[in-house]
Structure 1
Amino acid sequence: MPHAATPPIATRPDGSSVRVGVLAPLSRPGWDEAGRHLLAGLHLGVREVDAAGGIDGRPLELLVRDTAADPHRAEAAVDELAALGVAALAGEYHSVVARAAAARADALALPFLCSSAVLDDLTDGPTPWVARLCPPQSRGWRVYADLLLDAGHRRIAVAAQGSVYWAAGTRILRDQVGARGGTVDELDLSALAPSAVCDRLAARGATALLLLAGHPEPAVSLVRAVRGDARLAEVLIGAPAGQPEFSDWPWHLGGDGAAIPFLRYLPERLNPLGTRVGAELRARLGQAPSFVAFEGYDTALVLAAALRAGGADRARTAAAWPDVAVEGTRGRIRFTRTPGIGVWQWAGAPIQVADRDPEAPGRFRVLRAVPAN
């Protein structure tokens, strides 16, 4: 897929810029398209923050590090960026990577605004240093499970790889589905090829298969196998982690990638700011911006507000999280303490369940929307 060029961030020759470290997956096995969208939003937001006066007259300077979906690489990047004197960290998409980064930021007393990683247990316990824009996994995945249940699905299978993120998702689904009389059958992708997954689905009478698996593989191969199996013609394929959001999904699967519900974190209708930013992001990316691009833009606005309040001092910036109130592209952003969540959380982030239209796979259909609040 084509990559849009990322413009450099202007810095002053006297070194008076406010440095911010950015973590993003920009190479495989990371989801590099998510990383590019995150950076596009961040760069646009920073450009506008600087045009409005920056941080007390000082421009923002982004120091970007590629995590490549590797937690150890992220930890090393946090150490490096802290030593370079960044005022704060931002970004990341992969939950397991963001968890490693958050733990290191907490240990180093470095503010970290997590843009797009949903794992509930982003830290082992409460921390004043970390805030998060996207909703926690438990909130979004319960909305997703209710959509399936309301559509009559009571026998649900998950094809899962081994990771903390997928295991957490399976537990959320099992609790929510079980509470309404349904069952969740876990199929271990470390032991089952796509054809074997199809055999299990047919034998057990599952009506929905959820892809708790990496993209493009093994998710793409699983979709092809299920779509090509006549026994499974009525089985719904779902992808709560959002794989169909990005442009390479229909590139890999064509029409087979349509009608696969997934989670995204957008309102049903963007506000005027979101509409303007969406048009500019489309021009930068050369394609429709994903929800991750909007998260990137909102990250820049929120981080600027916290840095201004804290004078770019690390401790005072972290202390500003509960006082931040920013009108973002997807609603008004405020951070609170949410039961069971150790970080400062935007509890009212919007949630959608959407899919790609079988009649036009480049078009999305909103199946369920929970507005920002």
Structure 2
Amino acid sequence: MLRWLTGCILGAALLTACDDPEPIAIGFVGGLSGRSADISRESLNALDMAVAEVNAAGGLNGRKLDLLVRDNQGDPALAADQVRDLKIAGAVAIIGPNVSAIAQGMLPVIIETDLVTLSPTVSSLAFAGLDDPFFRMNSTTRQNAGAYATHLYETGLRRISAAFDLQNKVFSESWLYEFRGAFERLGGEILSAEGFDSGATEEYGPLVGRLLATKPESLLLIANGVDTAQLSLHIRGMNRSVGIVAVEWAASEQLIELGGAAVEGITILQTYDRDDLSPRYVAFREAYQARFETSPGFASIAAYDASIVLFAALRAQKDGESLKHVLLSQGPLDGLQQELSFDAFGDGTRRQFFVTVRDGKLVPR
């Protein structure tokens, strides 16, 4: 009797194990605290939604997804350690980070561990054209800054002064270099370019004063949404008429929340169409708003698209096949608003839309 009962218990345990296969661990590394936390939270929100949708539908090939979240606190060294931690924890891939300076710290460990990592928003040219496990959804600084140069020149701007964030200089210096080259080739002029440390306690007033003293037609701010809002407040306190241009990094929902009237009229590039009426995007936007009580931003869209390509690759991956190979070889996939694909180096591109802040909303220019 005891032997029969023991057999039944073991049999039940085996059936339970068969019915509940081990989940697939997906890592997320983002700066959920600090000055660039807005875009990392947007990315995590979208990824959390994507994971919940897959799990509600039965998982990937019958296995549920387990999301392992790590806050790098804006520290590249901590983010590098988190890559090793996620590898040990069994993560098959990472989505993140959102900031190029963090990616710079992570990349050596990503290569060392061979852990596939997909960044929704990193764009520095320093990461393009490399044969490594680091995939990027975004266009490069050369592509984005070049688009800005053409757009601004075509709108009549010729004289610009710039401020760029030294805390993320692998992005900001790359962006400024590419913009300067493209803008000057068209006939424009960069009057002055000053770096600032967003992690320091320095006042932005003196920096803005020096830039305004060059008599520019517009100021170019190469910074995140929080610092762009603060710089704009100082600019409008000193000059009500000078133009303000912000790079795509600043295009989070916090820009308008923190900047208020000071960011009215600002020019900025978006990597998605806020007014898109395609059924898939509308369904995503409504679900996102219902769940998080805010609108999705560019980092949300890009992170959800990253989940689309990653989950498709995991579904298609065969035993013994590298995830990197599957990602590179799978055909274009339908994203929320565009086709998603990578070149031979795992570099993607995003669509470009120039918008302006009008009555507290980002609207097409």
- TM tier relative to shorter chain: 0.7 to 0.9
Cα 1:203–1:60, aligned 2, differ >3 Å: closer, same or farther?
Answer: same
Deviates more, 1:319-328 or 1:125-134: 125-134
Matches within 5 A, 1:1-373: 16-29=22-35, 31-122=36-127, 126-162=130-166, 163-184=169-190, 185-189=192-196, 194-217=204-227, 219-229=228-238, 232-246=239-253, 248-267=254-273, 269-311=276-318, 316-324=322-330, 325-337=332-344, 343-347=345-349, 349-357=350-358, 360-361=359-360, 363-367=361-365
Q: Specify the structure having the higher radius of gyration (Cα).
A: 2
Instruction: Tell me the TM-score normalised to structure 2 length.
Output: 0.86
The CA deviation string for residues 192-224 of structure 1, in whole angstroms up to 9 with x for no partner, is 85333344344322111111234524x333212
Matched letter for residue 339 of structure 2: R
How many residue pairs get aligned? The number is 341
Measured in 2, the distance between the counterparts of 1:111 and 1:72 equals 18
Cα 1:242–1:260, aligned 2, differ >3 Å: closer, same or farther?
Answer: farther
Please list every run of 5 or more consecutive structure 1 residues that lacks an aligned counterpart in the other structure. 1-10, 338-342, 368-373
Q: Which structure shows the bigger proportion of residues in helix conformation?
A: 2
Partners of 1:116 and 1:292 within 8 A in 2: yes
4+ long deviations beyond 4 Å = 11-15, 190-193
Q: In the TM superposition, what is the alpha-carbon distance from 1:271 to its structure 2 partner? A: 2.7
Q: Which has the higher contact order (CA 8 A, sep 6+)?
A: 1
Measured in 2, the distance between the counterparts of 1:62 and 1:40 equals 12
Measured in 2, the distance between the counterparts of 1:76 and 1:13 equals 34
Partners of 1:75 and 1:104 within 8 A in 2: yes
Partners of 2:145 and 2:176 within 8 A in 1: no
Deviates more, 1:33-42 or 1:187-196: 187-196
Please list every run of 5 or more consecutive structure 2 residues that lacks an aligned counterpart in the other structure. 1-16
Measured in 1, the distance between the counterparts of 2:221 and 2:108 equals 28
